[in-house]
Amino acid sequence: MDVRVDDKVAVVTGASRGIGEAIAAELLASGANGVTITSRKEPNITAAAERLNDDRVLALVARADSEADAESTLAATIERFGSVDILVNNAGTNPAAGNLADVDLGAVRKTWEVNQMGPLLWSRAAWRQSMANSGGAIVNIASVGGMRVGPVIGAYNISKAAVIHMTYHLANEMAPYVRVNAVAPSVVRTRLAAALWEGIEEHTARAHPLARIGEPDDIARAVLFLASEAASWITGVVLPVDGGITGAAAAPGLGG
């Protein structure tokens, strides 16, 4: 299947590297008319735009947890490209490592503001400025951590569980004009997830039935599908892209 997003305009938050940059590249390669990428740091988003090297890219400094930045980014995208058809809520953070009983609450608040509140702020901006009238597709980047209990990163996992439930609610509330879905990765080769694979990649890979960790392109291809008309009758779905860790690994006779 040739999955395309010809003539569509997308906004991808947290796209200065890793999964976000891979999603932007995939959308451009699949015919997007314009892709706005954001990051909270100007040097990072400028470098990403230079790597993408495409005049269809609009690179903007914006915080994921800022309502004002969401509104201004959506407005700038519409001014430049004429619409917003696809929103990918990818930006995330995980500074709050530790057991919930002991972890620093300031770090927990930051994690939840970026990971939970951020997607809502940007989805509301997209709805108000474009999608309520013109329709569109929203794809949230969740995590398998939001679907199961795991050690050390409980605050992060809770935030991603909230994203999953938010996806269900927004899919119901924004239908039939907007489709809202989510992708739930397992461990992917990114800087955000480095503590889960750097120096222990073989061990981490063995935890996945497909015997490797994920690559940003694995997630980008799933996002492209859900954002495209190939998924036109799909909404309210959370798609694990996880090397089988939530499906095959939980099947009878396999590891847990």
- Catalytic residues, which ones? 156
d(CA 16, CA 169): 29
Please count the CA atoms within 13 angstroms of the CA of 110 that sit on its side-chain side: 11
How many Cβ atoms are within 10 Å of 203's Cβ, its own excluded?
9
d(CA 124, CA 104): 30
Please count the CA atoms within 13 angstroms of the CA of 26 that sit on its side-chain side: 25
d(CA 57, CA 71): 18
Going by DSSP bridges, is the β-strand pair 34-39/57-61 parallel, antiparallel, or unpaired? Answer: parallel
